Each structure stands twice: as structure tokens, then as C-alpha cells.
A and B are shown apart, each in its own frame.
Chain A
Amino acid sequence: MAEEGKFKVTIDGIALDVAPGTTILNAARQIGGDIVPPAMCYYSKLEGSGGKCRTCLVKVSKGSEKDPRPMPKLVASCRTTVMDGMEVQNITSPDVVEARKGVVEMLLINHPLDCPVCDQAGECKLQDLGYEHGADQTRYEFERRTFERIDIGDKIQLHMNRCILCYRCVYVANQLTEGREHGVIHRGDHSEISTFIENALDNDFIGNVIDVCPVGALTDKTFRFKNRVWFTKPVEAHRDCPSCSGKVTLWYKGEEVLRVTGRKDEFNEVDEFICNTCRFDKKKTADWTLEEPTPVDKQSVINANHYENFAPPAVIKEDAKLQAANVEQLARVERLK
């Protein structure tokens, strides 16, 4: 039985008590490790986000204690709340693994795969997703859709080609600005993120669209082509900022601060949104009070040779069922070593 006022949920065989109203994804994040479904569009700090990219699909094999029927379809874990006694299969379900592989393939068919010239490479969630769940080769043999690059203001550039339409930046703009200036135009696979007749978004916090973008569609023009992410060293720092918390990560190359971003957690979400002044204008060490080097976890590409050092998370080591489900992934890690 679950604790008083809490729901018991079992994800890939690991049980946990969570507060009612928690989504499956957030419950999985509390457990951590490999069983956390990847999320490209969900952003816990943005109201209404999620449900769109379909990478976080999971199988609900038991609805709840009261109604044990399994759910007929795979569900988006970021928008499905847990019920008491719910049993969820993520990486232990072949259906989920298969569907996720399909979603990754779909996300990549119109993606230019221009990682060698993309500023996001190295910290791109799509890149990680492709490595972890994608196929080795594409089966798509047609021309990819293309767009012209658009400058949104003088500091941000939009590469629509790389966009996976996660809508995160739309939510940021909607929740920051008064008018509806930034949104999606057109429909289907020709839809594009745009500002109203390419209006520059004039807002002190609009730089955050760069941080929330999971791919290289929205990039920082002050950092453009300066360096590869993995050659820069992240350092936590803060300053006394009148408009935001002033808590940021500085990205150093040698003595020079190449760019400033919000502090991101293990799920690639910023802790707090930062203002444009901190992000674009304060690029001297003298502007900041340094704290400590940002801890970089082993999974990150920023940590050099990440695939050589890859060790299966503890969760997998302990559980024979998880090991069986991960045979393919473990074999790939072996191959990459």
C-alpha cells in the first residue's frame, strides 16, 4: 500500500510513492536512471508544454488498483498523471522501444543533420536521442524541406530547418510577452515557427528561447561559430542583476567567456530563466562572481569520451529484467568502446 495521500506507481518494476497529480514522466524522473523517458517537448517550467513530440511514449500495463485494465494505446508520459497502483512499462516494453525508434526516425527525416556546422552539437537533445534510440541509417530518400534562416532580433537566429516543432519557444514567448507575436504558422510538415511578419521579439527575457530549444533551431548569435561546445568549460556564476536571479552558467574557452546560459539540470531544463542583459552583454569574468565548475555528468557529450566511460546505470545492473530489455543498448555500448 502507498503512503497516506500518495499514489503507488511502478515503472519498469521499480515501485515509488508519488503525490497525486504527478505525471508518469515526473515520477520516472524521481527514480532516475535509464527508465526516464526522453522528453523533447515537455518542459516542467512551461505551462501547457508536452504531449507533442511523442518520444516519451510509455505503455500502461495496469491502469490502477481500481481499474486494472491496461490502456489501449501507448500514452505520452509527460501528460498522463499517475493513478494509484498504476504499472508502467518503459524500456521493458518492446512496443515502447519500437514506437520510440519510429518517432526518432520521423523527427530526423526532415532534419538537415548538419551537426558538423551546428552550434548546438554536443548539447543537442536530438543528437543524444538519435544515438540512444535511432537507427544507424535513414530510410528517407526524398528531398528534405528547407527554409531560409531568419534573424529574430539582433541576438537570436532561427534555423527552421533544424526545428522539431516542440513549441517550447512558443510557450516561452507566450508566457513572457503580452501580445501573441511568436507562434506557429502554416500546417503539417510545412509549419514553421515565426514571429509576426518577422518582428523582432523585444522582450528582456526572450533569450530564453535559446535555452529551451532542444535542437539547434534557435541559436545565440553572439556565440555563433565561436567554438564547439565540448571545448568550452562550464562554470557556475552569479551577479547582482536587477531583473533576474543572475544565476547562470558561463562557458569558458581559456580566459574568455564565450557565452552565458541559464543553469541546466540533468534533464536539460534551466533552473531559472535569465534576462537578456546577463545572457548577451555580460561577457567578462569581471562582471561575475564565480562559484564552481559546473558538475558534468557522465552521460553528457561535454564530458570527453563519454561513450568509453559509459556504464549502465545502477538500475540496470541490479535487475535481470532490465538487463534483458537493454541487451541491444548494452551491445551498442560495447561496440562503441
Chain B
Amino acid sequence: MARKLLLTHIDVPGINTFEVYRQKGGYRAVEKALKTLSPDDVVEEVKKSGLRGRGGAGFPTGMKWSFLAKPEGVPRYLVCNGDESEPGTFKDRFLMTKIPHALIEGMIVSSYALGANTSYIYIRGEMMPQIRIVEQAIAEAKAAGFLGKNILGSGYDLEIYVQPGGGAYICGEETALLESLEGKRGNPRIKPPFPAVAGLYGCPTVVNNVESIAATVPIVNDGGEEYAKIGIERSTGTKLISASGNIVRPGVYEIELGLPVEEFIYSDDYCGGIANGKRLKAIVAGGSSVPILPTNLAMTTAKGEARLMTYESLADGGFVTGTAMGSGGFIAFDEDQCIVRNTWNFTRFYHHESCGQCSPCREGTGWMEKVLHKIEYGHGDISDIELLWDIQRKIDGNTICPLGDASAWPVASAIRHFRDEFEWHILNPRESQTRNFGLAHYADPLVPVV
């Protein structure tokens, strides 16, 4: 069994309470950091660990922290991004429900490293139970003296506040999140300036994902070098993957980065293979935004190497034959699933969630949705495929925030890899209403491993 760092004690009853969490060695990182390390030491450890942002972009966390401007007399803020709304991703919700104290402990350590005396946890509005759990955990930590004034006699003060969001996907974009936190409409800001220079209330701010912040706890406990030993190359440590779709055992798994995709799908430790004896057709590796891959490319890269669950390996081949790690929302599609319908569904989501600030995304997402709806319901024209390709190309890279790109990539990859299915849909409008295209040359070519 692979090493676990975040979910080690997940099965211990009552781990969501302060007492049990503390018994299992919780808040050791706070003690270690506040008593023996300077803030810069903590940043150094995180840099050494090679931890990369777990929210989607995979930007090295230590480097992000070292970019934080430190002008005199201006407060600095740490904001935890708990606005997890990517279709297919539910790892942060799981973490906050089961072991909220891991997040609080990480928040204390990270805030200490950044010199923030006020930190916010922005949680999506739909996650009301999680908001209550995290607030409860903050109250418990405060009662035990891990929050408030002069924590553990170190002279360091910290208050953590939970802010419920309104449930908008766009508020997961860091600058939109800051706008929303300030009480404004959640429109992404135009960068530069980046939040590290002018973020919340115009002050230097770091925005990190829930999982990234929780991961600082084992880094401080065991040291950055120890953490960096797990994983391959620049993908170090463990990662929470929320697996869903047509697999035997959907759920949240903590994997060591470097696990082969094939093993993740077929091993009984993880997904346990494809449900109902079906064959795998395609995967989405990191949440709905990343390119969808047919089975043959999901298992092996274009170079013929086995594809691994790492930032580099998943992205191997760029967007032509690769995908991205994203936020770890792993979705598997079996042979009965319709790629056209799925693409339409994803696009419907992005259409609904576009903030409407910049034109290509506001108008283009709705347009793509309508064209895909038309194809899905048997009224498509063969030229619509080219039209879709052109629309996504005009959105990609031309918008303020990555939501535009995120809406374009699934469409681009679906057309790139599953064009024959789109064509079949259009050429057989009646048949496509009653059955699915099934598998073609991209069918699962591999014998499942045990």
C-alpha cells in the first residue's frame, strides 16, 4: 500500500474532533514551526518539498510564497480557496468533511510562514455542512490555544475566518475569489497586478488550494526533503484524486505521484476497474476543464511510454496527445457513454458559469453549447464540427481568466480524438437518438492488469 500523508488517519472515528486529531499527532507541525522555525525556514522547507499547487495550475507553492511582496506596515493575507466547483472534483470537500483540523493546522503553519495575522477560508456556498464543520474546528483550535493572540507563547497572532461563497464556479479563480471576498461581484481581475503584490483589499495576498495548505503539515513535520522523496521528478508528494464515472469503486484516493494511470484504474486499491464488465472508452484526468483522452492515449503516451499520474507525464504531448493533472477530478467513461453528449454537458456548465465579463467567453460558451445541443439531438450539419473547432480556437487564450480556456479545451480535445463519433452523430441522426456510437479504433487495447 502506498504512503499516505493527508488521509493517514481518515478511518479513525472522531478524527474530525480536536481531541482525536491531537491524539493522532495533530498540531505537531504548529508546535514545531512556531517554536523552532522562523517563517523563512518554513518557506524554505516548502520550496525544498517541491509541492505544486493542488488547485489545477500546478504552480510551485514555495515559489508562489516567495513572490509575496512584503512592504512595511501593510498587512499580508493568506486566503484558502475552498470554492471547489470543477465538475468531477470533490477532494477538498472530502478533506474538509473528514479531517478539518488538517486544513486548520496547515492554515496556521502557512499563515505563520507568510506573516499573515488574518487568514480567510473561502468555501463554496453549497457546502454548508463543510462550512459548519470548519467553523467548529476553528472554534476548537481557538479554545485549545492554537489560534488567537500569542499562540503557544510565540508572540504570533492569528485569526482565521470562514467566508461562504455564493456558489459561483468563477469565484474559484483567485482574483474573482478576492473580489467576492471583498463583497463585490465575482469578476476576475485583470492581471497584472498579481495578488502577491495587490490582492485582498489591495494588500499582498497568497491564495492556495485546500489540499496545498493541508500538505504543508507533513512537509513541516517531516521536512521538505523527506516529502520530495515521494513522487517522480518535479511531481513530488501525494495527491488526492477524486475518482468518479464508470468505475467499480468511485471515491477519493490519496496516491503517490508517479502511479501509472493503468494501475490507478484497474488496481483494487484504487478504482477497481471498469464497472459491469464494460471496457474503458475515455478518461478525463483532472476535472472537466482538461482535455479528454481516449483509452489508448490515456494508458500510454504518444512516445509509447506508460502514462503516469504526474504533472509531466499527463501533460506529455501537449494538448495534441496529452492532457493535464488539473485539480485531480478523475472521470472514467465506459463504452456506453456518448462523448458528444458529455461534451455538450460540460459546455452547458461553462455557459452557465461564465461571468460574462469578456466577450469571447460570454458569447462563445453559449454558442458552443447551442451547436453541441443541435448535434446531440440529431439536427447537426457536418460543417458544425469545423464551426465548433473555430469557436473554441477563438476563445482559447483570448480571455481575461482561464475559464475561457477551460471551456475550449474539452471541446477541442473531444473533436480532436473523437471526430468520427461526432460525424456518426451527424450522419445518423435517427440512430444516434437510440444508441451510442460505442467503441472505435480508440477502444481499450490493453488487457486489464490485476
Q: Are A54 and B398 in contact (CB under 8 A)?
A: yes
> Interface segment, B49-57, B214-222, B347-355?
B347-355
Q: Are B387 and A139 in contact (CB under 8 A)?
A: yes
Q: Are A105 and B394 in contact (CB under 8 A)?
A: yes
* In-complex Cβ contact of B352 among A50, A73, A103, A188 (8 A): A188
Q: A107: shortest Cβ distance to chain B, in Å? A: 5
Q: Are A191 and B356 in contact (CB under 8 A)?
A: yes
* In-complex Cβ contact of A74 among B170, B362, B393, B398 (8 A): B398
* In-complex Cβ contact of A106 among B351, B360, B400 (8 A): B360
On whether A140 and B359 interact (CB within 8 A), knowing A184-B185, A188-B352, A189-B354, the answer reads no
Give Cα A167–Cα B395 distance, bound, in whole angstroms. Answer: 20
What residues on A are CB-neighbors of B359 within 8 Å? 52-55, 103, 106-107, 164-165
Q: Are B356 and A165 in contact (CB under 8 A)?
A: yes
Q: Contact residue range for chain A?
A: 20 to 34
The interface size of chain B toward A, counting residues with CB under 8 Å, comes to 30
Q: A50: shortest Cβ distance to chain B, in Å? A: 8
Give Cα A174–Cα B371 distance, bound, in whole angstroms. Answer: 37
Q: Are A52 and B400 in contact (CB under 8 A)?
A: yes
* In-complex Cβ contact of B356 among A99, A103, A184 (8 A): A184
Give Cα A106–Cα B168 distance, bound, in whole angstroms. Answer: 23
Q: Are B360 and A103 in contact (CB under 8 A)?
A: yes
What residues on B are CB-neighbors of A106 within 8 Å? 359-360, 362-364, 367, 394
The answer to whether the Cβ of A142 comes within 8 Å of any Cβ in the partner chain is yes
What residues on B are CB-neighbors of A279 within 8 Å? none
What residues on A are CB-neighbors of B356 within 8 Å? 165, 184, 186-191
The answer to whether the Cβ of A122 comes within 8 Å of any Cβ in the partner chain is no
Give Cα A189–Cα B351 distance, bound, in whole angstroms. Answer: 8
Q: A330: shortest Cβ distance to chain B, in Å? A: 24
On whether A51 and B367 interact (CB within 8 A), knowing A73-B397, A189-B356, A189-B362, the answer reads no
The answer to whether the Cβ of A153 comes within 8 Å of any Cβ in the partner chain is no
Q: B17: shortest Cβ distance to chain A, in Å? A: 39
Give Cα A54–Cα B360 distance, bound, in whole angstroms. Answer: 8
The answer to whether the Cβ of B357 comes within 8 Å of any Cβ in the partner chain is yes
Q: Are A140 and B367 in contact (CB under 8 A)?
A: yes
Q: B395: shortest Cβ distance to chain A, in Å? A: 8
Q: Are B190 and A165 in contact (CB under 8 A)?
A: no
Q: Are B398 and A109 in contact (CB under 8 A)?
A: no
Question: B356 — nearest CB in chain A belongs to which residue?
Answer: A191
Q: Are B366 and A187 in contact (CB under 8 A)?
A: no
What residues on A are CB-neighbors of B355 within 8 Å? 187-188, 191
Q: A277: shortest Cβ distance to chain B, in Å? A: 32
For A37-48 the 0/1 string (1 means CB < 8 A from B) is 000000000000
Q: Are B168 and A99 in contact (CB under 8 A)?
A: no
Give Cα A109–Cα B351 distance, bound, in whole angstroms. Answer: 15
The answer to whether the Cβ of B358 comes within 8 Å of any Cβ in the partner chain is yes
Q: Are A189 and B363 in contact (CB under 8 A)?
A: yes
What residues on B are CB-neighbors of A57 within 8 Å? 398
Give Cα A189–Cα B170 distance, bound, in whole angstroms. Answer: 14
What residues on A are CB-neighbors of B351 within 8 Å? 188-189
The answer to whether the Cβ of B370 comes within 8 Å of any Cβ in the partner chain is yes
Q: A78: shortest Cβ distance to chain B, in Å? A: 9
Q: A57: shortest Cβ distance to chain B, in Å? A: 6
What residues on A are CB-neighbors of B390 within 8 Å? 102
Q: A175: shortest Cβ distance to chain B, in Å? A: 15
* In-complex Cβ contact of A103 among B185, B365, B394 (8 A): B394
Q: Are B397 and A74 in contact (CB under 8 A)?
A: yes
Q: Which positions 384-406 of chain B face chain A at CB distance < 8 Å?
A: 387, 390, 393-395, 397-400
What residues on B are CB-neighbors of A54 within 8 Å? 358-360, 398-399
Give Cα A98–Cα B366 distance, bound, in whole angstroms. Answer: 20
- Find the residue from B359, B362, B367, B399 having the highest chain A CB count within 10 A: B359
Q: Which positions 140-188 of chain A face chain B at CB distance < 8 Å?
A: 140, 142, 164-165, 167, 183-184, 186-188
The answer to whether the Cβ of A110 comes within 8 Å of any Cβ in the partner chain is yes
Give Cα A293–Cα B366 distance, bound, in whole angstroms. Answer: 45
Give Cα A107–Cα B364 distance, bound, in whole angstroms. Answer: 9
The answer to whether the Cβ of A86 comes within 8 Å of any Cβ in the partner chain is no
The answer to whether the Cβ of A259 comes within 8 Å of any Cβ in the partner chain is no
Q: Are B354 and A188 in contact (CB under 8 A)?
A: yes
Q: Are A51 and B400 in contact (CB under 8 A)?
A: yes
What residues on B are CB-neighbors of A55 within 8 Å? 359
Give Cα A308–Cα B198 distance, bound, in whole angstroms. Answer: 50
The answer to whether the Cβ of A124 comes within 8 Å of any Cβ in the partner chain is no
The answer to whether the Cβ of A79 comes within 8 Å of any Cβ in the partner chain is yes
* In-complex Cβ contact of A53 among B354, B358, B370 (8 A): B358
What residues on B are CB-neighbors of A105 within 8 Å? 394
Give Cα A7–Cα B125 distance, bound, in whole angstroms. Answer: 47
What residues on B are CB-neighbors of A140 within 8 Å? 367
The answer to whether the Cβ of A76 comes within 8 Å of any Cβ in the partner chain is yes
Q: B168: shortest Cβ distance to chain A, in Å? A: 7
Question: B405 — nearest CB in chain A belongs to which residue?
Answer: A73
Give Cα A107–Cα B398 distance, bound, in whole angstroms. Answer: 14
On whether A187 and B353 interact (CB within 8 A), knowing A107-B359, A139-B387, the answer reads yes
Give Cα A24–Cα B238 distance, bound, in whole angstroms. Answer: 44
What residues on B are CB-neighbors of A50 within 8 Å? 190
Q: B350: shortest Cβ distance to chain A, in Å? A: 9
What residues on A are CB-neighbors of B363 within 8 Å? 106-107, 109-110, 189
Q: Are A188 and B365 in contact (CB under 8 A)?
A: yes
Give Cα A73–Cα B405 distance, bound, in whole angstroms. Answer: 11
What residues on A are CB-neighbors of B354 within 8 Å? 187-189
What residues on B are CB-neighbors of A187 within 8 Å? 168, 170, 352-356
Give Cα A52–Cα B185 distance, bound, in whole angstroms. Answer: 15
Q: Are A51 and B387 in contact (CB under 8 A)?
A: no
Question: A51 — nearest CB in chain B belongs to which residue?
Answer: B190
Residues of B in contact with A (beta carbons under 8 Å apart): 168, 170, 185, 190, 351-360, 362-367, 370, 387, 390, 393-395, 397-400
| 4 more CB-based (< 8 A) A-B contacts, given A110-B366, A186-B356, A189-B362 | A52-B358, A165-B357, A165-B359, A187-B354
A-B pairs with lowest CB-CB distance, top 5: A102-B394, A191-B356, A188-B354, A106-B363, A51-B190
* 11 contacting pairs across A/B (C-beta < 8 A): A52-B359, A73-B398, A76-B190, A99-B394, A99-B398, A102-B398, A103-B359, A107-B359, A188-B353, A188-B362, A188-B365
